[in-house]
Amino acid sequence: MVVGDPWAKIDPSRLRPLGAAGFQEPMLATLTDRRFSDPDWIFERKLDGVRAIVVRDGGRPQLFSRNNKTMDRAYPELVDALDDQPETRFVADGEIVAFDGRQTSFSRLQPRMHLTDPAKARATGIAVFLYLFDLLAYSSVDLTQLDLRARKTLLRAGFHFDDPIRYASHRNENGEDFYRQACASGWEGLIAKRAASTYQHGRSKDWLKLKCSYGQEFVVGGFTDPQGSRSDFGALLMGHYADGDLHYAGKVGTGFDQRTLRDLRRRMEPLIRSTSPFSHPVRDKVDERTVHWVEPELVVQIEFSEWTGDGRLRHPRFVGLRQDKPAREVVREAGPAL
């Protein structure tokens, strides 16, 4: 609960006039192995969903992915809820999630992510929620030069938080205890944020990702033929970029249902090429002569147990297809140096 007028505590010299309210490149967290407590940092739950920049400029609210693609038609009930907010001009940052039990689940969100018919999106029966955690602009004012605590206070005061719109709460100081609780609860991890930081567009070390388990995006560079009763394809060959080259990271053959197998094969078919997109030969019990190479355009989310010493994934599992991150931005996020 916000007590008093939060705007009265704002230094007006740090406010800038807002022109048109529109999409802004989101601030991105940097992965870290540090586990720390610090009174100058706050700690939020890392949600397993889809990033959303929420924009309203006097008319109907809009939802944008992190790479500036509209998502309004996939989540019409969120747009309706934002349309009921008291302010008609704002830019906010948040995460769209669906739940599998008590856990946010990217896999659970998959059937809705790629829909463009609002009626079909509602008909899936998959409930979605929008967690807001930052405020970039409100009314006629740009807030990006305010410190994080001030922005979150204004966010809390400026919106009505009733389902499906939720406020992303945080904890102060005790990051190590919160991290242990997060992992014990089965969460993906935490986001640590420097409390005095301004809102920076792009990757920043003022926001840090503290993951409980390994998982990140990879680029699809090829696929193998199906074996036995399997249809469409056997496994995806994946990689990540480093110094402009696509480095092979392993193959994944688990985590697919029949619909996903069919959909991915349909998406890969027009991308087939004659040569490997990887910078080095694939030596992974794969006969390269039988691999179907593809243009490195599709990005998939993968969970795995660890990186091996030679830069391969151990026990990878497919989680979902991502359309909110360009393939060229996919780099190795964790593990020992290659």
The mean pLDDT of 243-255, rounded to a whole number, is 94
Considering the domain boundaries, does residue 263 fall inside one? yes
User: 3-state class of 327 per DSSP?
Assistant: helix
> Is the torsion defined by CA of 126, 66, 47, 137 positive or negative?
negative
Kindly state the percentage of the chain with pLDDT values over 90: 76
- Among residues 127, 131, 112, the alpha carbon closest in space to that of 51 is found at 131
CATH for 232: 2.40.50.140
Instruction: Identify whether residues 151 and 226 lie together within a single domain.
Output: no
Considering the domain boundaries, does residue 82 fall inside one? yes
332 vs 337: CA distance, rounded Å: 10
As for how many domains the chain has, the answer is 2
Instruction: Identify whether residues 60 and 117 lie together within a single domain.
Output: yes
Q: What is the pTM for the complete model shown? A: 0.79
Identify whether 46 is a catalytic site residue.
yes
Instruction: Identify whether residues 196 and 104 lie together within a single domain.
Output: yes
Output the six-digit token pair for 219: 């680029």
Phi, psi torsion values for 267, nearest 5 degrees: -75, -35
Domain stops at, among 156, 180, 211: 211
Considering the domain boundaries, does residue 17 fall inside one? no
Considering the domain boundaries, does residue 173 fall inside one? yes
The mean pLDDT of 137-166, rounded to a whole number, is 95
Q: Which of 46, 152, 211, 251 is catalytic?
A: 46
> What digits encode the pLDDT tens for the residues 55-65?
999 999 999 99
Instruction: Identify whether residues 179 and 299 lie together within a single domain.
Output: no
Output the six-digit token pair for 23: 């999409």
Integer-rounded Cα Rg, in Å, for the chain is 21
Q: Which domain holds residue 123?
A: 26-211
Domain stops at, among 157, 191, 211: 211
The mean pLDDT of 175-194, rounded to a whole number, is 93
Considering the domain boundaries, does residue 4 fall inside one? no
**In contact, 175 and 192? CB cutoff 8 Å:** yes
CATH for 99: 3.30.470.30
Output the six-digit token pair for 228: 């036995």
| b/e 272-289 (16+ beta carbons within 10 angstroms → b) | eeeebbbeeebeeebeee
Residue 4: pLDDT band by 50, 70, 90 thresholds?
A: low
Instruction: Identify whether residues 254 and 290 lie together within a single domain.
Output: yes
Domain stops at, among 211, 232, 247: 211
Instruction: Identify whether residues 175 and 248 lie together within a single domain.
Output: no
Considering the domain boundaries, does residue 334 fall inside one? no
User: 3-state class of 139 per DSSP?
Assistant: coil
**In contact, 109 and 96? CB cutoff 8 Å:** yes
Considering the domain boundaries, does residue 5 fall inside one? no
Instruction: Identify whether residues 33 and 125 lie together within a single domain.
Output: yes
Instruction: Identify whether residues 47 and 175 lie together within a single domain.
Output: yes
Instruction: Identify whether residues 73 and 139 lie together within a single domain.
Output: yes
The mean pLDDT of 175-201, rounded to a whole number, is 94
